[in-house]
Amino acid sequence: MSGDHGGATTALSARVRHVEALLEQRGLVDPVELDRALTAYLAKASPASGARVVARSWVDEDFRQRLLDNANLALPEVGLSMGGGLQEQRLKVVANTAAAHNVIVCTLCSCYPIALLGPSPSWYKSEGYRSRVVRDPRGVLHEFGYDVPADVEITVWDASAESRHMVLPRRPVGTDGLSEQELAGLVTRNGLIGVAAV
């Protein structure tokens, strides 16, 4: 499994919640305005954003390489970013190939690239998924109806408060004539998490 967690992440989250509560108590932050900002952020957060990124990478090899090298620098090219919080989260995009398959998880909580995948599905947050996908990724993927060939290596990427991951699925065979928009329509949130093929 790749990625890391530490006590610092949990401590940081607790400090952020504490500071937010203090700011609200002293009247420096309006909780209604905070809720409004969060609602506006979530309204823009959708798997369609991640699908656009994938489709661009399928039609533009240079963009694909920039995305894999440094996703945070590549995202503005398609009008996106990993911002929206107190700090911009680091995004690592991992590409599926004929020999390698990737799946993402957050074993301690449910860290997830909301800006690109929309709100996380309930199963992603479940303790069952978070613990089992690490121990038996093939078994979990099978339960999703996705059987990864035995000769394909599976890597499980563990997200954290500072770092998020997104899977870059393989482009489906027979899609050479499709437009970028049509390709984006093929990409699902489950494909971006790595529990389904596209």
In tens, the pLDDT along 32-50 reads 776 666 555 555 678 999 9
Give the Cα-Cα-Cα angle 191, 179, 165 (nearest 5 degrees).
25
Delineate the domains of the chain, giving CATH numbers in brackets. Answer: 7-193 (3.90.330.10)
* d(C-alpha 57, C-alpha 139), whole Å: 29
Better-predicted residue by pLDDT, 10 or 118: 118
Are the C-beta atoms of residues 194 and 102 closer than 8 Å to each other? yes
Helix axes 7-25, 31-44, angle to 10 degrees: 130
Would strands 163-168 and 100-105 be described as parallel, antiparallel, or unpaired? unpaired
Residue 110's nearest CA partner among 96, 128, 95 is: 128
In tens, the pLDDT along 182-191 reads 999 999 999 9
* Active-site residue set: 106, 109-111
Average pLDDT (82-97) is: 77
